Amino acid sequence: MSTRAPWGGGFSTGPFAGPPPRDIVVLLAVVFVTFTLRFFAATAVVPGLLSLTPAVWHAGYLWQLVTYPFVGFGGPDLWFLLELLVLYWFGADVWRRLGRRRFWQVVLTAAVVAGVAAVFAAIVVERLAFGAGAVFILMQGQRTLLVVMVAAFATISRGAVILLFFVLPVRAGWLLWLTVLFAFVGFLATRDLAGFTGLVVATAATWAQLVPGGPGRGVRRRWLELRQRLLQRRLDRLRRRRGLRVVRDDDGPGPTIH
């Protein structure tokens, strides 16, 4: 068992040890800039078009399912800056552990799956005409990113001990359940069923991609197997059409053509 500093930073290898990951700096900059655009009449339309809204199914704005996590959301107060700080703490740690390609794969997959689930929940709420009010406010912008980063850290370092709120020592794995608990409390205050659904699904999707032997790994393995079969069929067609000879290399990545 290891002990880690508050919010996921290690004592010697935490998020402030060494230069900050460029991807995380760019991510925070994008979130901050889009957040700032909300407060000027001439630019407010930009975050309005990129945030997750009912226009996804009313007007076909499907791009919002991808762009919404990167649009800063909230009021002009210190709480927003605190969210960015916590996002950096977790994000830098997760980025260093996963690497650039895997990091963005996890983030984008979890965000899109969560967005789709939230949209379906919002459609159900709209059709049943209950709980009318704002939707998606619990999961807009950095809030979904925070949930994904926390869930990723909790899955990767589930055996570590962190100081929650800098005081309470808890196992990192418990952050998965605490995230869902906080989202539920937010739902009680806002009645945003769609947003609550999105945060729960984001947590589950992140966990599924990173847990050893989890469903995310199985999906990835089946996708690679499918690609291999498609490549084999293509090589077979080329061989039949052009009279090429396929030589298998048992030690290599796959068949080659001669």
**CATH of residue 162:** 1.20.1540
My answer on whether 203 and 250 are in the same domain is: no
Question: By residue range, what is the domain housing residue 46?
Answer: 6-211
Please indicate, yes or no, if residue 1 is contained in any of the structural domains: no
My answer on whether 251 and 222 are in the same domain is: yes
Question: What global pTM score does this model have?
Answer: 0.75
In 193-208, which positions are buried (b, 16+ CB within 10 angstroms) versus exposed (e)? Answer: bbbbbbbbbbbbbbbb
Q: How far apart are CA 233 and CA 38, in angstroms?
A: 51
My answer on whether 253 and 203 are in the same domain is: no
Give the chain's domain count.
2
Q: How far apart are CA 13 and CA 219, in angstroms?
A: 32
Please indicate, yes or no, if residue 229 is contained in any of the structural domains: yes
- What share of the chain has pLDDT > 70, as a percent? 74
DSSP assigned state of 252: S
Assigned token pair, 148 = 């994904």
Please indicate, yes or no, if residue 90 is contained in any of the structural domains: yes
Cβ pair 209, 193 in contact under 8 A? no
Q: What angle do CA 212, 214, 218 make, to 5 degrees?
A: 110
My answer on whether 241 and 120 are in the same domain is: no
Is pLDDT at 15 greater than 60 in this prediction?
Answer: no
Q: pLDDT tier at 134 (50, 70, 90 boundaries)? A: confident
Q: Which residue has the higher pLDDT, 252 or 141?
A: 141
My answer on whether 221 and 206 are in the same domain is: no
